[in-house]
């Protein structure tokens, strides 16, 4: 004997409302990190310059190493140095 389970049924309007609510809730989130390219742009230097400084250990903001070759930078550190936030 096969038991039948009923799947919830949603109409298109309800699905759209749920999607819109989830999108609006996440749209206001500010990223916590900048990529190397974004950080360099805000700091007014070339991305390879920032990369070279990070590799040498003398970057203007400390990088967060994701992998051996991938670095990201904390948003608050970059914005403070760039003069964007007080």
Q: Model confidence at 51, in pLDDT bands (50, 70, 90)?
A: very high
What pLDDT score does 20 carry? 65
CATH number of the domain encompassing residue 75: 1.10.1660.10
| Count of domains observed in the chain | 1
What is the domain range of residue 47?
A: 33-82
Decide if 75 is inside a domain: yes
pTM exceeds 0.85, yes or no: no
The helix, strand and coil proportions of the chain, stated in percent and rounded to the nearest 5, come to 50, 10, 40
Task: Look at residue 10 and tell me whether its pLDDT is greater than 80.
Answer: no
């Amino acid at each position: 004997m096969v038991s039948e389970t009923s799947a919830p049924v949603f109409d298109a309007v309800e699905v759209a409302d749920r999607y819109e609510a989830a999108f609006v809730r996440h749209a206001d989130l500010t990223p916590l990190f900048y990529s190397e390219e974004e950080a360099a742009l805000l700091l007014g230097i070339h991305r390879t310059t920032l990369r070279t400084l990070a590799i040498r250990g003398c970057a203007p903001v400390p990088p967060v190493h994701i992998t051996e070759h991938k670095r990201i930078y904390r948003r608050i550190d970059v914005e403070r140095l760039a003069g964007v936030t007080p």
